Structure 1
Amino acid sequence: MPLNEEEAVLLAAAWRRLAGGGPEAAAVGAELLDRWNEPHRRYHTLLHLWETLRAVDVLQEEARDADCVRYAVWFHDAVYEGRPGRDEEESAELAGRLLSLIGVEPGRVREAVRLVGVTAAHRPEEGDADGAVVCDADLSVLGAPADEYLAYTAAVRAEYRHVPDRVFREGRTAVLRSLLNGPHLFHTSFGREHWEAGARANMLAELDRLASPAPLDAPPP
Structure 2
Amino acid sequence: MMPTTLAARWQQLTATLGISDALREATFRQLTAAYEGSGRHYHTLTHIRALLETQERHKELIREPAVVQLAIWFHDVVYSPRRTDNEARSAVLAQDFMFQTNLTAEQRARVAFLIERTKDHTQPQLAADTDLHFFLDADLQILGAPEADYWQYARQVRQEYRLVPDMLYRRGRRQVLEKLLLAPILYQTTLFRQLLDTAARRNLRTELRQWEKGSL
AA in 2 matched with 1:69: V
Deviation at 1:83, TM superposition (A): 4.0
Q: Distance in 1 between matches of 2:33 and 2:106?
A: 27
Q: Distance in 1 between matches of 2:96 and 2:82?
A: 21
Change in 2 beyond 3 A, CA 1:86/1:154: same
Q: Distance in 1 between matches of 2:140 and 2:205?
A: 15
Residue of structure 1 in register with 2:110 after alignment: 111
Residue of structure 2 in register with 1:74 after alignment: 73
What CA deviation, in whole Å up to 9, does each residue of 1:180-200 have, x standing for no partner? 111121011110011111111
SS in structure 1 opposite 2:99? Answer: helix
TM-score by length of 2: 0.90
TM-score by length of 1: 0.88
Residue of structure 2 in register with 1:55 after alignment: 54
Deviation at 1:169, TM superposition (A): 1.1
What CA deviation, in whole Å up to 9, does each residue of 1:20-50 have, x standing for no partner? 1841222212211111111111111111111
Q: Distance in 2 between matches of 1:85 and 1:74?
A: 20
SS in structure 1 opposite 2:78? Answer: coil
Q: Can you give the 5+ residue segments of structure 1 that lack an aligned partner in the other structure?
A: 1-7, 217-221
- Counterparts of residues 143-158 of structure 1 (less than 5 Å): 143-158=144-159
Q: How many residues get paired?
A: 208
AA in 1 matched with 2:14: A
Q: Can you give the 5+ residue segments of structure 2 that lack an aligned partner in the other structure?
A: none
Residue of structure 2 in register with 1:177 after alignment: 178
Structure 1 segments (4+ residues) deviating >3 Å: none
Residue of structure 2 in register with 1:128 after alignment: 129
Instruction: Give me the CA root mean square deviation.
Output: 1.7
Deviation at 1:56, TM superposition (A): 2.0
AA in 2 matched with 1:132: H
Q: Distance in 2 between matches of 1:201 and 1:84?
A: 29
Q: Distance in 2 between matches of 1:114 and 1:183?
A: 23
Deviation at 1:139, TM superposition (A): 0.7
Q: Percent identity?
A: 34
Alpha carbons 1:71, 1:112 under 8 Å: kept: yes
Deviation at 1:12, TM superposition (A): 1.1
Deviation at 1:104, TM superposition (A): 2.6
